[in-house]
Amino acid sequence: MYIGKTQYYGDVSHDDKIEKIRSEAKLSMGMALTKDINSYFAVTADVFYSKLRSKKGLNNEPFPIHYSLSGNYFDFTIQPRVDLVSLIADSKVKNKFSVFISFGLGYGFWSTTVEDVQTGEIVRGADGTYTGGLVISTALALDYRFYKRLSIFVDGQIKTITNDRLDNWEDGWPTDQLFVANIGISYNFNFKYNSAPDKINRTRKNEEYRKMIYNSDWGIDYLFFS
């Protein structure tokens, strides 16, 4: 599970980055279920919700503000993901620190309105009316396992809506985008931790040591103690 902040970028959005961070980031949250395929590859099913808010001036100027966007957004995505640390390490030992990248596809639906802030009139969209479209999601996550089954993570996601109707303003930007920053906690339901490598390399030093300790040759010793 995770919670975070979402920023919208599209036609009803100005270019003042400080103002977007200060007053336009809205609360978001989500829940995901991940199935590990092997030590470095997994598939995630993710359910996401966010409030939306943005502002726009005339002629694409940041100020004075003339239009205001508000609304709600939901989506469901399937995201294959790769653990770069496990992929590079090539080990079945569970790492405390992981770096995940993912790329997924899903479907989103939203209800948004654009208001003329000077008159208070809704000029685009309607409350309670939902529109949908395909969503492409990309993400980068940093994960730290602080207990056997528990991890804490931070991630950044870019969600690209493949149509231009998120803001009810089909002009300028060909797509609408959401940038999401999250912090969350995960629980592993089927955790298997190996404290040693799968196979002990056979060397003369290892073989002589094991004969001395266990008074057996390599084959018998490997059968009972590997």
Q: What is the CATH number of the domain that holds 14?
A: 2.40.160.20
pTM: 0.78
Q: How many CB atoms lie within 10 A of CB 223?
A: 9
Express each pLDDT in 61-88 by its tens digit: 667 888 889 999 999 999 999 999 988 8
Residues 10 and 27 in one domain: yes
Residues 97 and 8 in one domain: yes
Express each pLDDT in 136-174 by its tens digit: 999 999 999 998 889 999 999 999 999 888 988 887 777
Residues 206 and 154 in one domain: no
> For position 203, what pLDDT does the model report?
54
> For position 193, what pLDDT does the model report?
47
> For position 33, what pLDDT does the model report?
96
Measured CA angle at 147 (ends 78, 101), to 5 deg: 30
Residues 115 and 209 in one domain: no
Residues 38 and 88 in one domain: yes
Average pLDDT along the chain: 82
The secondary structure of 46-94 as a DSSP string is EEEEEEEEEEEEGGG-SSSEEEEEEEEEEEEEEEEEEEHHHHHHT--SP
- The boundaries of the domain holding residue 146 are 2-194
Residues 13 and 60 in one domain: yes
- In angstroms, the CA 59 to CA 224 distance is 77
Express each pLDDT in 171-211 by its tens digit: 777 789 999 999 999 998 875 544 444 444 555 555 555 55
Residues 113 and 214 in one domain: no
pLDDT at 110 over 70: yes
> For position 44, what pLDDT does the model report?
96
Residues 178 and 200 in one domain: no
The stretch 12-36 carries a mean pLDDT of 84
> For position 92, what pLDDT does the model report?
56
Residues 92 and 190 in one domain: yes
**Domains in the chain, number:** 2
Q: How many CB atoms lie within 10 A of CB 151?
A: 18
Residues 213 and 157 in one domain: no
